[in-house]
């Protein structure tokens, strides 16, 4: 094996130009694959090799080597090899340290450092590996002192980058608040202009674009169950290994919100619900704002954004959320058994046919499969249970949803079918698009329990 590697190295030194071309082409291809398919390992290896070549060429030239001399070409080759291998080492170091209890221990004491430490550790390994490989290929031995200095540099460079990204919003806010002129203009009506700040300039407005938090550090933290341990979601699913926790307390695993904060499902109706109140309920549940969830979806931490609904009827207030099967024992099993099993479907049947079936006392499936899993399905399932227990028929309800009704709930009449299922006379729906009224079809409205 040693002889083979030695022969390869000798060939590379005899064909330096070809070797650099091959290393560069491989680095470009690997980096492109990494960026296009979002493979972090490929990005680190490909970019590491290319940057290693460029930096080594620059250092070699500044150190007095002739432009494209044999010595510079050798340094470029060594830089490319060291950069690619150290990128690989840094990636696995970051991954492996994240699987240990060290990160969880640090995170329990200094949350932001717990999130940053894997990258800092990976940066240290990358720096140390790069220096060690460079020394070995140049001199045949590793200089431990230089390797340790390089590792420390990599660690603190990653620390600085992570600290800046974690506090970027605050730094930009401070910069943009600097006053350029303390002079205020007083107008005839007694009002005055505010002093001009950096934030008022075109530069400040450009800088503010970077304050939009596209990082997840301020939104979530990573936690990890000890090996062999797990916690149970209410539907009985075992949650083990690593998972995310939002800044408000909800837990995310495999792209799904598997646990929300424990707040009462039923509360006394107040008659004072609006979309601002729904936003408060969203936060109570531990969920992020819709804009913050968009960041997690973009980062592929969440598979989709959530919806929250609040319904008031019969003196009670009920909250609901999308993908709510995680919140109830047995998931959607009870819902499917009560609302779907043994009931005829509407698809493929003409209106008159469905009317005749309803006249025979048959109840159709309560809604479509999609609406059942939505926030609207959640509030109506719990309203259904409440009305069934108290034998309530008729009356009105008001439903507030923080997103417009989707096609399944609206055009496919998923919500109207639920209005009929629980026996309501009228449902007022309020969404960001406005207010509307949904009434049941008398032929399909429940008349008794």
What percent of the chain is predicted at pLDDT more than 90?
57
Q: Identify the bridge partners of residue 197 per DSSP, sorted by sequence position.
A: 179
pLDDT in tens, 414-431: 999 999 999 999 999 999
**Residue corresponding to tokens 């010595």:** 71
CA-to-CA dists, residue 241 to 99, 161, 231, 393, 394, angstroms: 9, 27, 10, 47, 48
pLDDT of residue 313: 97
Contacts 24+ apart (CB under 8 A), 137-146: 137/9, 137/78, 137/81, 137/82, 138/78
Please, which residues have CB within 8 angstroms of residue 426's CB and are 6 or more apart in sequence? Answer: 396, 397, 419, 437, 438, 439
Question: Per DSSP, which regions of 314-392 are E strands?
Answer: 316-321
User: Taking 50 as the threshold, does the pLDDT of residue 13 lie above it?
Assistant: yes
Write the DSSP symbol of residue 425: S
3-state secondary structure of 112: helix
CA 13 to chain centre: 47
Buried b or exposed e, range 243-279, using 16+ CB within 10 angstroms? bbbbebebbbbeebbbbbeeeebeeebeeebeeeebe
- For 393, the token pair is 């028929």
CA-to-CA dists, residue 254 to 242, 316, 372, angstroms: 10, 34, 21
pLDDT of residue 37: 79
User: Taking 70 as the threshold, does the pLDDT of residue 24 lie above it?
Assistant: yes
pLDDT of residue 194: 41
How many CB atoms are closer than 10 A to CB 208? 16
- In this prediction, residues 111-140 reach a mean pLDDT of 87
- For 433, the token pair is 């698009």
How many CB atoms are closer than 10 A to CB 434? 8
pLDDT of residue 254: 85
User: Taking 60 as the threshold, does the pLDDT of residue 316 lie above it?
Assistant: yes
Please compute Rg for the chain using Cα positions.
31
3-state secondary structure of 406: coil
- In this prediction, residues 312-324 reach a mean pLDDT of 96
Distance, CA of 288 to CA of 213 (rounded, Å): 13
CA 298 to chain centre: 6
Distance, CA of 374 to CA of 367 (rounded, Å): 11
CA-to-CA dists, residue 69 to 57, 82, 133, 229, angstroms: 10, 20, 22, 59
The secondary element (H helix, E strand) that includes residue 436 is strand 434-438
Please, which residues have CB within 8 angstroms of residue 370's CB and are 6 or more apart in sequence? Answer: 406, 408, 409, 412, 414
Q: Identify the bridge partners of residue 40 per DSSP, sorted by sequence position.
A: none
pLDDT of residue 84: 93
Q: Residue 85 in contact with residue 129, Cβ under 8 Å?
A: yes
- In this prediction, residues 190-200 reach a mean pLDDT of 48
Q: pLDDT-based confidence at 186, cuts 50/70/90?
A: very low
Nearest Cα neighbor of 69 from 17, 24, 106, 31 is: 17
- In this prediction, residues 292-308 reach a mean pLDDT of 89
Burial class (CB in 10 A: 0-12, 13-18, 19+), 4: exposed
- In this prediction, residues 327-351 reach a mean pLDDT of 91
Distance, CA of 309 to CA of 278 (rounded, Å): 7
Q: Identify the bridge partners of residue 256 per DSSP, sorted by sequence position.
A: 253
Burial class (CB in 10 A: 0-12, 13-18, 19+), 363: middle
CA-to-CA dists, residue 292 to 11, 151, 214, 276, angstroms: 54, 35, 9, 16
Query: 369: number of CA atoms within 13 Å, CB side?
Result: 4
3-state secondary structure of 62: helix
Nearest Cα neighbor of 421 from 440, 397, 399 is: 440
Q: Which of 97-101, 151-155, 289-293, 426-430 has the lowest mean pLDDT?
A: 97-101
User: Taking 90 as the threshold, does the pLDDT of residue 376 lie above it?
Assistant: yes
pLDDT in tens, 34-62: 888 768 788 889 999 999 999 999 998 98
Rounded to the nearest integer, the mean pLDDT of the chain is 85
- In this prediction, residues 245-252 reach a mean pLDDT of 92
Query: 65: number of CA atoms within 13 Å, CB side?
Result: 17
């Amino acid at each position: 094996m040693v002889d083979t590697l030695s022969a390869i190295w000798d060939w590379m030194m005899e064909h330096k130009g070809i070797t650099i071309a091959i290393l560069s082409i491989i680095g470009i291809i690997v980096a492109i694959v990494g960026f296009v398919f979002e493979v972090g390992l490929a990005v680190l290896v490909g970019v590491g090799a290319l940057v290693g070549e460029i930096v080594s060429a620059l250092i070699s030239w500044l150190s007095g080597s002739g432009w494209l001399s044999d010595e510079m070409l050798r340094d470029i080759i060594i830089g490319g090899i060291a950069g690619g291998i150290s990128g690989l080492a840094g990636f696995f170091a970051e991954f492996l340290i994240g699987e240990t209890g060290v990160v969880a221990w640090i995170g329990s004491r200094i949350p932001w450092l717990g999130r940053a430490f894997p990258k800092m550790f990976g940066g240290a390994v990358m720096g140390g590996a790069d220096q060690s490989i460079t020394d070995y290929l140049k001199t045949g031995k590793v200089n431990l002192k230089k390797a340790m200095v390089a590792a420390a540099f990599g660690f603190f460079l990653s620390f600085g980058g992570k600290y800046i990204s974690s506090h970027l919003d605050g730094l930009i806010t401070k910069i943009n608040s600097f006053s350029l002129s303390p002079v205020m203009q007083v107008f005839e009506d007694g009002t005055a202009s505010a002093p001009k700040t950096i934030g008022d300039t075109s530069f400040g407005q450009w800088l503010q674009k970077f304050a939009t938090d596209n990082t997840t550090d301020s939104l979530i933290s990573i936690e990890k169950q000890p090996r062999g341990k797990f916690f149970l979601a209410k539907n009985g699913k075992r949650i083990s290994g690593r998972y995310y926790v939002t800044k408000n307390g909800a837990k995310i695993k495999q792209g799904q919100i598997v646990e929300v904060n424990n707040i009462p499902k039923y509360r006394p109706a107040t008659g004072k619900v609006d979309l601002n109140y729904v936003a408060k309920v969203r936060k109570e549940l531990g969920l992020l704002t819709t804009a913050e969830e968009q960041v997690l979806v973009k980062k592929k931490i969440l598979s989709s954004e959530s919806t929250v609904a609040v319904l008031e009827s019969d003196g009670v207030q009920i909250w609901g959320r999308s993908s709510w099967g995680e919140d109830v024992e047995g998931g959607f099993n009870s819902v499917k058994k009560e609302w779907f099993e043994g009931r005829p479907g509407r698809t493929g049947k003409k209106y008159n046919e469905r009317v005749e079936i309803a006249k025979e006392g048959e109840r159709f499936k309560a809604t479509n499969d999609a609406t059942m899993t939505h926030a609207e399905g959640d509030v109506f399932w719990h309203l259904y249970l409440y009305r069934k227990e108290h034998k309530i028929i008729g009356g009105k309800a008001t439903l507030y949803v923080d997103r417009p009704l989707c096609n399944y709930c609206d055009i496919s009449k998923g919500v109207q079918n639920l209005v009929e299922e629980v026996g309501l006379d009228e449902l007022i729906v309020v969404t960001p698009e406005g207010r509307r009224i949904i009434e049941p079809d008398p032929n399909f409205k429940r008349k008794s329990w």
